[in-house]
Structure 1
Amino acid sequence: MSNILPPALVRRLGNSAGFDTAAFEAVHEQEGGFTAIRANTAKWKAPTGITADPVPWCDTGYYLTNRPIFTLDPLFHAGCYYVQEASSMFVAHAIRALGLDKQPLIALDLCAAPGGKSTLLNSYLHVDSLLIANELIKTRATALTDNLVRWGQSNTIVSNNDPSAFGNLPGYVDLLLVDAPCSGSGMFHKDHEAVNAWSEAAVQLCRERQQRILATSLPALKEGGVLLYSTCSYSTEENEQIADWLCDTQGLEPIYVPVAAEWGIEQTQSDKHACPGYRFYPHKLRGEGFFLAAFRKVIKQPTFDRRKPKSERAAVPALGKWVANADDYFTFTIGEDIHILPKKWEADLYTLRNMLYLRNAGTYVGWIANGDLIPAHDLALSLARRMDLPMLTLTKDDALEYLRKGNLAPVINAQGLRGWVLAGYEDVALGWMKVLSNRINNYYPKAWRIATM
């Protein structure tokens, strides 16, 4: 018996047909896990300068041989990639296998922080979709917002609400992703300390919490819409039993997601409704413990009257100077801050603002001072920004000094640029600088600056 794993957990898993208890215990004796990243191909086509093997079920995912210090990589701060556990990248395969990328839709990532699956949805859903990324806990909602800003998409709204709030938007979303809070046994290989918080009682409490989250939020899913349910737990109570409960009580039917045998993913079926489930075990593949199941809503779901509200568009002088294809967006304000969102989602924004507490919406482009737009940091990282704006390309040392919000010597400005200039590294933007004749003002946000190393 492993000295790491709870005996009750191992005993239950060992009752599954064909489960290799010895191999499962052996891999958990080796703490550390696997390091993987997922590339933001809208900014960065593929990892360079590092040894990387592809993640089989995600064509933008890569395993790293060693775990670098990501804080010291300017490309990380530019939003060129996200550090994400490889097993959870399976959501990308589910999106494509179910054809959810073929046309624009409204997607809700209900338990979204810190943003791994939200940034994945941004990359894999149809480019004209709307993504609502929700997080209940305020501090985690801040990290979620920051990560989505780095990713650079303008079709995203971040909300900070209890899942039950979405019950007030019946029949609204086409896709609901619930990566539910769970007992966390799937992380034991990566973090041995997590074992101390696990118990059979905690599993039952998590199961009850998962049912509450699902029951109160599922009215938001339209008839015919898709639910992707996932956990990082090995317990059937939180996985296959939840699948049967969804079919029994929530008007859902299971959906099969085809997978390649060589990927090493364990395919299961729930006891009552034979719901397909997909289990990831670290002794069978290069990933941590993970579970996913897919469902379609088959019961009638009444919706609500979405009246188009009176426009609140903000006038922005020379927006086209900063934003590519500016006519594709509408402008609105949050306080004094000016944001943009694709025009097709204007009515949706006003609906959501009336029903939810929103932390961020679209891309924050700046504010008006003396009749001119002062560009926001978010705009520098946005894919909506004009790509022909002046950029001063920095060496790695200078880029790190910029990210520390340090002083940059005017001598680096060999191009003789003036005014608002992007600080760049390997052709991607890190943020803004104001270049004057005798100095360079560093406008990197104080809250984002990295520690001196």
Structure 2
Amino acid sequence: MSNRLPNDLINSLKGNPSFDYEAFVAVHDVEERTTSIRFNPSKNININDYNIEREIPWCINGYYLKERPVFTLDPLFHSGCYYSQEASSMFIDHVLRELKLNLTPIRALDLCAAPGGKSTLLNSTLHKDSLLVANEIIKTRVNILTQNLVRWGNSNVVISNNDPSAFSRLPGFFDLMVVDAPCSGSGMFHKDHSAIDEWSLANVKLCRERQQRILSQSLSALKTGGYLLYSTCSYSKEENEDIVDWLIDDFGMESVSLSIDDSWGITVTESEKNDAVGFRFYPHILKGEGFFLSILRKKADQDTFSMKRVKREKNTAPQDLAQDWINTENHYSFTHSNFLHIFPKMYEVDFLALQSVLYLKNAGTEIGELKGKDLIPSHDLALSNLVRKDLQHLDLELDQAQNYLRKENMSTAINSSNLRGWVVVRYKDVNLGWIKAMDNRINNYCPKEVRIWNL
């Protein structure tokens, strides 16, 4: 296998005299995937139910597993109790805490967010009253991003589907931008040997140009003093340290360093021109895939979006209906396409500002569809961390929970109960979704887009 590693990549890494070329090649001789998960601190879960090997040192809720389970068959995966995320990228948790961005509410943008690993991490680590905008450029990937954030269960999220250039219409709006940029993917060689055949210097150059376009067209959305976390899964300095130098030279950014534990095995680098700090993850040194991250702070003066431009129209949504289903304290209701949502009151004007310049896929928590004076509860509501605990519910065993997720008949699970109407089904005290119990039948309301199929 070692002969398959691209010579151009190997030669560029050999340029660093401290780089262990032989160890790097050796670890790539075997295609190996490290399994790691990050638990959702807002969900009720017993981590001892999982085959944990050890903690991930740079992420409070991150763990390595001894073996990879079939996540699809675990109801708690579908209910948002955890996310299967690559360990190296969980380093963002440490970054946010070191920068103290978890202590006060901020506005954050995850610009290239699908499938949602970094967005769900941001949503857990940032202050609970922060606003998170998760954007995905590619239309076909927005649905999986939405599903993963809905599972996570928080209402302070807006999901958008826009080109990065759209965010130039929101100057100085965000305190934090996370840009996990599309890249040439050499950091994935260890777990996916097929990626090697797709790598070339031409692709590195193409990715660098794409990264520069994404950053140059969106960076005005970051306020003066705000932080940019720039990352890739590439080993090429053209996509990493060189991009950081370019940001410093052309956009008034400055490098930010962090304290890290030497035992973690993270390699600290400096860019050639500005000695800007970067953090590299190599699979021959630590348990994780190839990853690069650099932290930059905007020094340049930045104009800010004027909230006076935001038009406030009369809100005709019923404000009391949602409280029958969910804790609406510090939230307001709005409707979209006859669906009722709730959103944090403190960001009502912010939401209107985002709505005025972006295409939004989802916002807040969708409560349900309005049918006259009635409400058909949404799947999103069942997974919300704000859903009322006193709603009638049905506890399921593992096989019953799997049958629910397969959208099978639930009559045998409910026959012995006296439940009627809308019922939350639960597994291990965690909500999975809705059924509707009637005198002569049970309707399973598991959405087809989250349905699992027999394996």
The reply on whether 1:419 has 2:421 as its aligned counterpart is yes
Q: 2:340, 2:354 → 1: CA distance?
A: 18
**TM-score, length basis structure 1:** 0.98
Distance change in 2, residues 1:67/1:309 (3 Å)? same
Summarize deviations over 1:173-224 as a string: whole Å, max 9, x none. Answer: 0000000000000000010000111001111111111111111100000000
SS at match of 2:408: coil
Indicate the residue corresponding to 1:5 in structure 2. 5
Instruction: Tell me whether 405-414 or 423-432 shows the greater mean CA deviation.
Output: 405-414
RMSD of aligned residue pairs (Cα, Å): 1.3
In the alignment, is the contact (CA less than 8 A) between 2:322 and 2:367 conserved in 1? no
Q: 1:108, 1:413 → 2: CA distance?
A: 47
Indicate the residue corresponding to 1:347 in structure 2. 349
SS at match of 1:359: strand
The reply on whether 1:159 has 2:160 as its aligned counterpart is yes
Distance change in 2, residues 1:413/1:293 (3 Å)? farther
The reply on whether 1:315 has 2:289 as its aligned counterpart is no
Distance change in 2, residues 1:423/1:114 (3 Å)? same
**TM-score, length basis structure 2:** 0.97
Indicate the residue corresponding to 1:357 in structure 2. 359
Indicate the residue corresponding to 2:199 in structure 1. 198
Q: 2:238, 2:330 → 1: CA distance?
A: 47
In the alignment, is the contact (CA less than 8 A) between 1:423 and 1:433 conserved in 2? yes
SS at match of 1:146: helix
Note the C-alpha offset of 1:410. Answer: 4.2
In the alignment, is the contact (CA less than 8 A) between 2:319 and 2:332 conserved in 1? no
SS at match of 1:349: helix
Q: 2:34, 2:292 → 1: CA distance?
A: 17
Indicate the residue corresponding to 1:220 in structure 2. 221
SS at match of 1:23: helix
Q: 1:304, 1:265 → 2: CA distance?
A: 38
Q: What letter is aligned with 1:181?
A: P
Q: What letter is aligned with 1:436?
A: M
Note the C-alpha offset of 1:3. Answer: 2.2
Q: What letter is aligned with 1:387?
A: K
In the alignment, is the contact (CA less than 8 A) between 2:232 and 2:292 conserved in 1? yes
Q: 2:247, 2:120 → 1: CA distance?
A: 27
Indicate the residue corresponding to 1:27 in structure 2. 27
The reply on whether 1:66 has 2:81 as its aligned counterpart is no
- How many aligned positions are there? 452
SS at match of 1:236: coil
Note the C-alpha offset of 1:435. Answer: 1.4
Indicate the residue corresponding to 1:84 in structure 2. 85
In the alignment, is the contact (CA less than 8 A) between 1:184 and 1:233 conserved in 2? yes
Which structure 1 residue ranges, 5 or more long, are not aligned? Answer: none
In the alignment, is the contact (CA less than 8 A) between 1:105 and 1:130 conserved in 2? yes
Q: 1:423, 1:382 → 2: CA distance?
A: 13
SS at match of 2:49: coil
Note the C-alpha offset of 1:415. Answer: 4.0
Which structure 2 residue ranges, 5 or more long, are not aligned? Answer: none
Indicate the residue corresponding to 1:145 in structure 2. 146
Q: 1:296, 1:335 → 2: CA distance?
A: 40
Note the C-alpha offset of 1:436. Answer: 1.9
The reply on whether 1:265 has 2:266 as its aligned counterpart is yes
Q: 1:327, 1:85 → 2: CA distance?
A: 35
Note the C-alpha offset of 1:317. Answer: 4.6
Q: 1:128, 1:316 → 2: CA distance?
A: 21
The reply on whether 1:442 has 2:447 as its aligned counterpart is no
Indicate the residue corresponding to 1:209 in structure 2. 210
Instruction: Tell me whether 106-115 or 439-448 shows the greater mean CA deviation.
Output: 439-448
In the alignment, is the contact (CA less than 8 A) between 1:4 and 1:29 conserved in 2? no
Distance change in 2, residues 1:249/1:46 (3 Å)? farther
Indicate the residue corresponding to 2:255 in structure 1. 254
In the alignment, is the contact (CA less than 8 A) between 2:44 and 2:429 conserved in 1? no
In the alignment, is the contact (CA less than 8 A) between 2:27 and 2:283 conserved in 1? yes
Q: What letter is aligned with 1:253?
A: E
The reply on whether 1:405 has 2:407 as its aligned counterpart is yes
Indicate the residue corresponding to 2:369 in structure 1. 367
Note the C-alpha offset of 1:135. Answer: 0.4
Q: 2:146, 2:454 → 1: CA distance?
A: 24
Q: What letter is aligned with 1:322?
A: W
Note the C-alpha offset of 1:46. Answer: 4.6
SS at match of 1:364: strand
In the alignment, is the contact (CA less than 8 A) between 1:109 and 1:176 conserved in 2? yes
Note the C-alpha offset of 1:316. Answer: 4.5
In the alignment, is the contact (CA less than 8 A) between 1:316 and 1:373 conserved in 2? no
The reply on whether 1:383 has 2:385 as its aligned counterpart is yes
In the alignment, is the contact (CA less than 8 A) between 2:396 and 2:413 conserved in 1? no
Note the C-alpha offset of 1:448. Answer: 1.5
Note the C-alpha offset of 1:50. Answer: 2.3
In the alignment, is the contact (CA less than 8 A) between 1:158 and 1:361 conserved in 2? yes
Note the C-alpha offset of 1:94. Answer: 0.3
Distance change in 2, residues 1:240/1:208 (3 Å)? same
| Runs of 4 or more consecutive aligned structure 1 residues displaced over 3 Å after TM superposition | 410-415
Q: 1:238, 1:250 → 2: CA distance?
A: 17
Q: 2:314, 2:74 → 1: CA distance?
A: 40
In the alignment, is the contact (CA less than 8 A) between 2:435 and 2:445 conserved in 1? yes
